[in-house]
Amino acid sequence: MDEFETLYRELKSDLQAVLEPLVDLAQHLLRRQGTFLPFGASLSNAGQVTFAGAGTEQEMTSSVEILPILHDGLRATAGQDETMAIAVCEWVKITPEGSSQTDAIKVLVEHRRGLTVAFYLPCRKRLLRGWTFGETMALRAQPEVHPWYASEGP
């Protein structure tokens, strides 16, 4: 078992604690609006999840404009000693191995102990049946927010 797998097993409850509320909210937004802009959350040492959002003064905005603002806010939150993990949830397109391209909910979780995992939940809009969701995939990922390594930068 490599270091990633060992750390993943050790921190799985922290990852789930921040992942599940973000996926629940993303699914709700999809069913209600059909899409969503990126949002995030932080997990405290006490296990409390706090949602984070970002916006611009423009009436219409995009993920490209929102993500840097959201990342800055999560870095500021992570600067507090009680933050154990941060996560960013966004709407993406993926091409799972052996399948065609599909929409997906992506949640990137960065843990204080150095573990970064990207979770992907494939989903499709079915005519007259609403959204259907596939199986969540967890993949080793590179940090995007860099909340505890400000000198490395995004």
pLDDT tens for 62-98 read: 788 889 999 999 998 888 778 999 999 999 999 988 8
Domain assignment of residue 63, given as a range: 3-140
Instruction: Kindly report the pTM of this predicted structure.
Output: 0.90
> What is the number of structural domains in the chain?
1
SS (H, E, C) the chain: CCHHHHHHHHHHHHHHHHHHHHHHHHHHHHHHHCCCCCEEEEEECCCCEEEECCCCCCCCCCHHHHHHHHHHHHHHHHCCCCEEEEEEEEEEEECCCCCCCEEEEEEEEEECCCCEEEEEEEEEEECCCEEEECCCEEEECCCCCCCCCCCCCC
153 found inside a domain: no
148 found inside a domain: no
72 found inside a domain: yes
154 found inside a domain: no
44 found inside a domain: yes
149 found inside a domain: no
> Residue 1: which pLDDT band, with cuts at 50, 70 and 90?
low
